[in-house]
Chains A and B, each alone.
Chain A
Amino acid sequence: MLKGRLLKDKIARHYMLSATIFSIFILFLIGGGLLAKSLPIMQEKSLWTLLTTSNWRPFKGDFGFASYILSTLYVTAIAIAIALPLSLLTSIYIIEYASPKILRAFTAVVDLLSGIPPVIYGVWGTLTIVPFISEKLAPHFVEFSTGYSVLAGGIVLAIMIIPLIISILIEVFSAVPKEMREASLSLGATKWQTVKKVVIRKSIPGIVAATVLAISRAFGETIAVLMVCGNFTTLPKSIFDACYPIPALIANNYGEMMSVPRYESALMFAAFLLFFIIVLFNVISRLVLIQIDKRYQS
């Protein structure tokens, strides 16, 4: 009887340990796998040529990622520029000014928004944002735009990353101890001064971490951006031009990539590039957030 119990315990322990090791290993498996697949192209061309030239002629063996990288950066920059101020204002309002009831209701809104699948955002974007840009907005600035553009991608992405930023900011702002706010108020500062000089100043590392996480989320978003960006291999000259971010490139070309030499390797290099940057950004911002957690917990 006793032996049976101990044996069960032993088996359970081994199973749990292997599950843990396996799931940690997934990260290294993905990194290693993508790196191995992208080695052929990296041996053939220097990293510098791959990243800085924009000649993309897979059938002739030209693989320059510059226009895809720039597209990704443009779209992300617009998304952050829209999402960050909105998220900051909103999360300060619901943490500092609104009643607990509104806070609870708004977390439900944030949960819903973050639960909506990318493809739905894409459908919504093509139905609303794209025609709005081509019919209402673009005619004021350029002669012609289909609406499938850098701007459309940026706006859709902004809406997709807002829930992520807000949920992190809510945690960051609530981590600022109540005593600090009270000390400031008791010295005669107004509510707004307290928010500005105490809460926000104390939260700057957290705000930066949230932004970096949002950037990495925006880098990797695929389907929604692909549906509204136009997917045209060129350097976009204005925000009303079509663009072609890296994830969209990978998603659009997987079917044909097997037949062309080096094409698969080039696309896997793109995936590895995304992986590398996103892991780097995530590690940095998570470490900052863990630090914030620790400082106020002890």
Chain B
Amino acid sequence: MKKLEEKIFKFLMISSTVLILSILLYILYVIMKKGLPSLSWDMISKIPSGGFYLGKEGGILNAIMGSLYLIFFSVVISLMVSVPVVMYLNFTLRRRSKLAAFARLTFDVLFGIPSIVYGAFGFTVMIYFGLQASLLGGIIAISLLIIPVMIRSIDEVAILIPNDLVEATKSLGATNYETIKVITRQLLPGISTAVLLSIGRGIGDAATVLFTAGYTDSIPTSLTQPTASLPLAIFFQLSSPVEEVQNRAYAAALVLTIIILTLSFAARYFSRRLSKNKI
């Protein structure tokens, strides 16, 4: 009887593991199968031309470039906030300080807040400052979204840095700032993984940019112009009744998936390779 119960559960456990694995493969398969036929060089090298949304000529370069602009500036801003925060929590404050514990809890909570709330909040901030939906608005909202992702991810690595290293630099008479410069080198693998993770989170999110960045057929040339983005390109084109346009949504989905997969593999590769220099 005991053996039977174990056997049943072991069977269930293996099946659910296999099921989850096959769902992942099935998702990738469906996106590939639907996206590949419509994916062409024109799709990723041209901006929409007249009649694009009726199935005529053009591509989604506007969305690709828009997403790249959005994510580039957001990552730069988030790095400027996240790295000092992690340094402060780990190497300036004492390890068991109350402020650090409170800050970490806050970042965990911020991490759990859905992107639609960041989008809605970003939108109210924009209205407050009299901004229209624009590249700048999108950058603000995405930065807010990925700051907690980045902080948590760098913090995970920073916590593991041995205290001896901090004490060794300090015993040589280094100031706190100089200590941090030494530690930054140790943290580089953690920071690059964090950047890749945040790009993945930020570039694929539709709900944040829906309110804040707007949508347009051209590539933005200034911060105050609205900008297209890949997730919204997928979302809007999929709701079109024209089959051609829908197919383009699948192709755009494939482009986004390829970007995400590349980032994900790069993150694994980096964190394994660079960690060889770690103490």
* Residues of A that sit less than 8 Å from B by CB: 5-6, 8-9, 12-13, 15-17, 19-20, 22-24, 26-27, 29-30, 33-34, 37, 85-86, 89-90, 92-94, 97-98, 106, 108-109, 111-113, 115-124, 126-128, 159, 162, 166, 190-193, 213, 216-217, 219-223, 227, 247, 250-251, 254, 267-268, 271, 274-275, 278-279, 281-283, 286-287, 290
Contact = CB atoms under 8 A, between A and B. Distances in A.
B13 A5 contact: no
B13 A92 contact: yes
A220 B206 contact: no
B3 to A, nearest CB: 8
A16 B84 contact: yes
B102 A251 contact: no
B114 A162 contact: no
B205 interface: yes
5 contacts: A5-B178, A118-B207, A122-B235, A282-B108, A286-B105
Given A20-B84, A222-B115, A86 B6 contact: no
B6 A20 contact: no
Interface string B19-44: 11101101100110010000000000
Nearest to B78: A23
A38 B13 CA distance: 46
A90 B21 CA distance: 10
A217 B115 CA distance: 10
B261 A120 contact: no
A286 B7 CA distance: 35
Interface in B99-153: 99, 102-103, 105-110, 112-121, 123-125, 144, 147-148, 151
Contact of B110 (A22, A27, A90, A112): A27
Interface of B: 2-3, 5-6, 9-10, 12-14, 16-17, 19-21, 23-24, 26-27, 30-31, 34, 80-82, 84-85, 87-89, 92, 99, 102-103, 105-110, 112-121, 123-125, 144, 147-148, 151, 175-178, 180, 200-201, 203-207, 210-211, 231, 234-235, 238, 249-250, 253, 256-257, 260-261, 263-264, 268
B139 to A, nearest CB: 15
A93 B109 contact: no
A37 B124 contact: yes
A41 B233 CA distance: 34
A112 B109 contact: no
Contacts of A166: 20
A213 B114 CA distance: 12
Contacts of B263: 115
Given A220-B117, A247-B207, A268-B120, A120 B103 contact: no
Contact of B205 (A27, A97, A117): A117
Contacts of B176: 9, 12-13
Given A190-B2, A220-B113, A275-B117, A97 B13 contact: yes
Contact of A19 (B84, B204, B206): B84
B34 A118 contact: no
Nearest to B118: A30
B67 to A, nearest CB: 11
Contacts of A26: 110, 144, 147
Contact of B124 (A12, A85, A268): A268
A126 B133 CA distance: 29
Contacts of B81: 19, 22-23
A94 B10 CA distance: 11
B13 A89 contact: yes
Contact of A121 (B20, B27, B238, B249): B27
Contacts of A85: 16
Contact of A24 (B6, B103, B177): B103
Nearest to B13: A93
A298 B204 CA distance: 40
A13 B91 CA distance: 11
Contact of A90 (B17, B203, B205, B231): B17
Given A19-B84, A23-B147, A122-B238, 12 more contacts: A5-B175, A16-B84, A16-B85, A16-B92, A23-B151, A30-B118, A89-B12, A117-B205, A118-B207, A120-B204, A126-B238, A222-B116
Nearest to B89: A20
B121 A34 contact: yes
Contact of B207 (A9, A192, A223): A223
Contacts of B118: 30
A43 B161 CA distance: 52
B194 to A, nearest CB: 14
A271 B109 contact: no
A115 B84 contact: no
A123 B31 contact: yes
B20 A162 contact: yes
B114 A109 contact: no
B16 to A, nearest CB: 4
Given A119-B231, A222-B114, A19 B88 contact: yes
